[in-house]
Amino acid sequence: MTKPLKIVIIGNGFGGIYTLKNLHKFFHNNKKVELVLVGEKNYFLFTPLLHEVATGGINPANIIEPIRKVLGCCLDKFYLGKAETINTKNRTVKVENDFVSYDYLVLAGGAKTNFYNIPGAEQYSFPLKSIDDAIKIKNHCITQMESASHMEDREKRKEMLRFVVVGGGPTGVELVAELEELVKETFSHYYSKEVIEDVSIVLVQRGEELVPQFGPKARAKSLETLKKKGIEVLLNTAVKEVGASYVIVNDGQKILTETVVWVAGIKPAEMKFDEPVSMSPDGRLVVNECLQLENQKEIFAIGDIALFKQENVPLPALAQVAEKESATVAKNIKLLIENKKPKKFVYKNSGNLMSLGQWKAVGQIANFTFTGHITWFIWRTVYLSKLISFRKKVRVAVDWTMNLVSPRDISQL
């Protein structure tokens, strides 16, 4: 019997999981094809709700899904570990102590936080990329509240209760909005009025506007909503240095704070190859119109790790981009197996949504911007529908419902 064709996927985030789901549609019960996944964690993480874990709105376990549960039937092998080197000559990937061979390879390793070598940024700030990051942020905020609650020196207390978020993209905006909800709806139940009055939230954005990926109306609405919530938004402000108890920005201002969350940028996950492959200056894998590496047509790259240009503009680092690319990649692998020509990938944006705290959200489809309670409801419904299992959808819905009627859980995890 001939050996089955091996399709290996590296990365178990949006790109990887959806590639596997799409391949499953084509090759379910097909003994001639073997589907292999490599991932650093044994679960899929639904990143768009991480900010709600960081602010105590959702239980961390509810936005992760075990890989085995997601894809039990068609996953022939799952390697739990980091893919280290790709040997294109003998078509193997080194994963910890294993060498995994492939006929087709899909690279979906995503991205990590980019601190841009700013002094102290990596050492003193909290990233928000993983479930552990979100838990650390929540725990830290609660520690600050507890320590400040018996601090008599008011200036010191204000410093302890100043929460600075660096990065005014959608994640930063969603996070500060939700942080304000945490203070208003939950901390205010447990801490004195004097302590609550000393809490401040600062959002630092290098550009002249928030959420530049959205249109002008959505940008203006985000700024207006955050200001109404009492959040201090510093535009045209670049962080120059972060310390244990301060942030220095470009005009020399020193912001005293013991909490800096860094959501100001990403850089692609590293992939090592035995021979040079085409990479953009920021380290993304350059792919052709069919999402293949130019000189390695059996290797595909998708999601945040890949650079795909449409009309000369790189696609943004979004879950929906990774998800849509995964459908084309699965189809192209099937076509190649059938000795047919692969199809070109064309990205069609389905619209963007961003929450701005309870009952508030902004949405944009093409040039049409919508806001208000209904948008917020749509945002929740869409994100709920995107969670993988019914069980987790119900749990998140329960968390959200409980938050409407009672304070969030401030137990440290």
Ligand X SMILES: Cc1cc2nc3c(=O)[nH]c(=O)nc-3n(C[C@H](O)[C@H](O)[C@H](O)COP(=O)(O)OP(=O)(O)OC[C@H]3O[C@@H](n4cnc5c(N)ncnc54)[C@H](O)[C@@H]3O)c2cc1C
Q: Which residues in this chain contact ligand X in the complex, by CB under 6 A? A: 10-16, 38-41, 47-48, 50-51, 82-83, 108-110, 128-129, 171, 269, 303-305, 317-320, 322
CB 210, min distance to ligand X, A: 15
Angle of the 319-337 helix axis to the 14-27 helix axis, nearest 10:
30
- Tell me whether residue 161 or residue 285 sits nearer to ligand X (CB atom): 285
- Tell me whether residue 92 or residue 198 sits nearer to ligand X (CB atom): 92
Which residue, among 268, 247, 259, has the nearest Cα to 126 in the 3D structure? 259
- Tell me whether residue 55 or residue 320 sits nearer to ligand X (CB atom): 320
CB 131, min distance to ligand X, A: 11
Residue nearest to ligand X (CB): 13
- Tell me whether residue 261 or residue 410 sits nearer to ligand X (CB atom): 261
By the 10 Å C-beta count (0-12 exposed, 13-18 middle, 19+ buried), 263 is classed as: buried
CB 272, min distance to ligand X, A: 9
- Tell me whether residue 50 or residue 176 sits nearer to ligand X (CB atom): 50
The number of residues making up the chain comes to 413
- Tell me whether residue 160 or residue 179 sits nearer to ligand X (CB atom): 179
Rg (CA), the chain: 22
Euclidean distance between the first and final Cα of the chain, in Å?
52
CB 212, min distance to ligand X, A: 15
CB 134, min distance to ligand X, A: 8
- Tell me whether residue 12 or residue 292 sits nearer to ligand X (CB atom): 12
- Tell me whether residue 83 or residue 255 sits nearer to ligand X (CB atom): 83
d(C-alpha 149, C-alpha 370), whole Å: 40
Hey, what are 199's tokens?
A: 């809490």
- For residue 321, report the phi and psi dihedrals to the nearest 5 degrees: -65, -50
CB 254, min distance to ligand X, A: 27
CB 252, min distance to ligand X, A: 30
CB 230, min distance to ligand X, A: 23
